[in-house]
Chains A and B, each alone.
Chain A
Amino acid sequence: MIHAAFLIPLFPLAGFAVLAAFGRRLGNPLAGWFATAMVLFSFIVTALVFAGLFQHAPDARHFTQHWFTWLGVDHLRVDAGLYVDPLSMTMAAFITGVSTLIHLYSIGYMEHDEDFSKFFVYLNLFVFSMLMLVLGDNFLLSFFGWEGVGVCSYFLISFWFERPSAASAGKKAMIYNRIGDAGFLAAIFLIFEKTGSVQYRVVFAHLGHLSTGTLVAIALLLFLGAAGKSAQIPLYPWLADAMEGPTPVSALIHAATMVTAGVYLMCRINPILHLAPDAAHVIAWVGACTAFLGASIGCAQNDIKKVLAYSTISQLGYMFLAAGSGAYVAAIFLMLTHAFYKALLFLSAGSVIHAMDDEQDIKKMGALAKLMPLTAIAFLVGWLSIAGIPPFSGFWSKGEVLINAWAVSPALWAIGAFTAMLTAYYMGREYFLVFLGQRRWVEAHAGGDGHGHVLEVPNHHSAKLGADPGATGARSTEETGSEPGHGSGGLHPHDARWVMSAPLVVLSFLAVFGGFIDLPFHPNFVLLERWLDPVVGHSLLVTHFSVAQEWAFGIADAVLALIGATVAASAWRRTAERPALEPRFLTMAWFIDWSFDHLIARPSSLFAGFASAVIDNRVIDGAVNGVGALARIGGLGLRKVQNGYVRTYALGLLAGAVVLIAFIVYRAGV
């Protein structure tokens, strides 16, 4: 049964190929159903392989499936093949599972988009790349998947590239990821240089020969890669902008799966981190700081998706905190539960956006609970989970992370615990502003002309410029059907149809009960830990807490979460205007983007503008910035030499020859 593993990535790949070729012919919604089916098949195969793996003894739960020799130069030999072990199968299972749900949701969400089939082409390609990333049996193959998901992410963020902000957000994501990728690639070079292989098992077997310095370098370079992909300090700003993509993309790629690739990588290289504790400490601290930073910014954002984006950054920080502490099981545990509740939150948010005429400002929402009960309940479940209210899944996973953090350093625990309180607060704020309180959207839409002008533009392309087209079409049909002069400006928020609701229900269920896969009460209950033990057991942080201490931590977590939730409730249940709670430095995301702009980008472009104005006003285009300006001046100098006269060129040739002869004769000492 486990030998069917090769089918896991093959199904989405086939889906991608078929849709790329015939997607338009399949059309809407058949293309979507086809893509969903492909991912579902992949999930079924994963489940079968998973079950097959289970039948083996714990130490025998891994095997390599060799496909073909991918490339071989001298002694560098890279095989394309899959590595199946509990870690990769856990990842594959949740990736395919969550992807299936989100594919299903997308059928509803994207139903009016004219590029419907293209969307699913990208989604299937993404799933394939992601599966290659986690299932690849060597660094290079994982890197292949790593690049693949990056490309898909770029395409999907810029899916509505007619919208300038979407186009630039895509570029921004690509740039930040490239920085990380460079680190990853450098790490691969270094690993190959030192161990002569890039295969995980071979590399890990050779770690004993490596100096600590090398190991730290490798670990930190890989962490740089992971930080880019998983939006950690300092490479995090792209994730907030990535929300320009369609909401299912945000849910799938920028919350549940792709951004957790970095965490997966850290867990995969646990033998390296185990031998490089310094690097692990760096990772833990960066993770903790990111967790706090993301949560603090999330407290003052007004865009429903931006809040979730910063929350994702924050949660990813927790995962790195866990991985850096050596609590790999906790990291994976949090990754799983986070995938459930964050996907749930995003999809609920998508339903809200869909229903609210593409309004994303939570200050202009409110009181939607009555109109969209299912969505409200789903969001509530998501909130309680992420906040860590027992017995929701987030409570168990976050508790696991925090208790391990304490074992490394109480300071890390303190940051984490405070962040947990903030988490409960900002998600509560979002919940109350969106689903309770007054119907602020009534006056917002009745007051101005709202988005009515969109209707006057018959061309769907132009409509995209202004709004989220996933909903644009829906609204157009809906609004033309409604009587004019309705009090709420033609808005009828309501729950979405079943393809969009069903995933919410399933995810809600998982968000509530997902935590039960790893309960700390009894050794028999820690299923996930026992399952992952063959992979991470050797390098796992060993903690010695008594039962009473564990209870104390659990109660502390719950109390902190309740405090956060209570504060949110008391502050935001009735009003939407509390400037004191939204300091400007938080709204501006600690001025980090702003300072990039003002301290680096603007002066350099000013300087470049000055330079080109002085030298040549006509050629203002080009690479104008710190490095670029110098290069440009050099380039302009070269233009002067290249004056168009044959004589000059012949002189250059001859001079070169003379210098060459002189050089050689001098070197040879004739």
Chain B
Amino acid sequence: MSVSPTWYLVLAAVLFTVGAVGLLVRRNVLVMFMCIELMLNAANLTFVTYSRALNDVGGQSAVFFVLVVAAAEVVVGLGIIVSLFRRKFGATADDAHILKG
């Protein structure tokens, strides 16, 4: 039984949406960040699917770039989050709202 590429695309879209909504509803900064990773991976899945469907290797190589970027973001992101936690342990994203207006 073969699964048509459409389903992969739909799955990716669903993952992407889950990630986006997750970012909106969660308060834990780490979880929010994981949601972003989820969205990036949804993009990766889309790349791979199209790469396969188009029989073109370019999409697959793009995935590596995205993965590297995601890794770099993790490094910086965790640094920022840790510095937030140092100021106040267990801080959520909502605790950071002194800048507004």
Contacts and interface: CB of A to CB of B under 8 A. Distances in A.
A and B touch in the complex (CB under 8 A): yes
B24 A650 contact: yes
A644 B32 CA distance: 17
Interface in B49-78: none
Interface string A636-654: 0001001111110011001
Interchain residue pairs A-B with the least CB separation, the first 4: A644-B100, A644-B97, A646-B93, A639-B101
A315 B24 CA distance: 70
Contacts of A651: 24
Interface in B11-30: 20, 23-25, 27
Contacts of B3: none
Among B23, B32, B96, B101, max chain A CB count under 10 A is at B101
Describe A's contact surface by its main secondary structure. helix
A646 B32 CA distance: 10
Contacts of A643: 97, 100
B24 A645 contact: no
15 contacts: A639-B100, A642-B100, A642-B101, A643-B97, A644-B96, A644-B99, A644-B100, A646-B93, A647-B24, A647-B25, A647-B27, A647-B94, A650-B23, A650-B24, A654-B24
Contacts of B97: 643-645
Contact of A644 (B20, B25, B27, B98): B98
Contacts of B25: 647
Nearest to B26: A647
Given A643-B97, A647-B23, 8 more contacts: A639-B100, A644-B96, A644-B98, A644-B99, A645-B97, A646-B32, A646-B93, A647-B25
Given A651-B24, A654-B20, A654-B24, A646 B101 contact: no
A498 to B, nearest CB: 64
Interface string A613-657: 000000000000000000000000001001111110011001000
A650 B97 CA distance: 14
Contacts of B101: 639, 642, 644
A619 to B, nearest CB: 9
A647 B99 contact: no
Contacts of A650: 23-24
A645 B23 contact: no
Interface in B80-100: 93-94, 96-100
Contacts of A645: 93-94, 97
B31 to A, nearest CB: 12
A645 B32 CA distance: 13
Among A643, A647, A651, max chain B CB count under 10 A is at A647
B81 to A, nearest CB: 12
A642 B97 CA distance: 10
Among A643, A644, A646, max chain B CB count under 10 A is at A646
Interface in A356-412: none
Contacts of A639: 100-101
Contacts of B27: 647
B22 to A, nearest CB: 10
Contacts of B23: 647, 650
A447 B6 CA distance: 101
Contacts of A642: 100-101
B39 to A, nearest CB: 11
Interface in A581-624: none
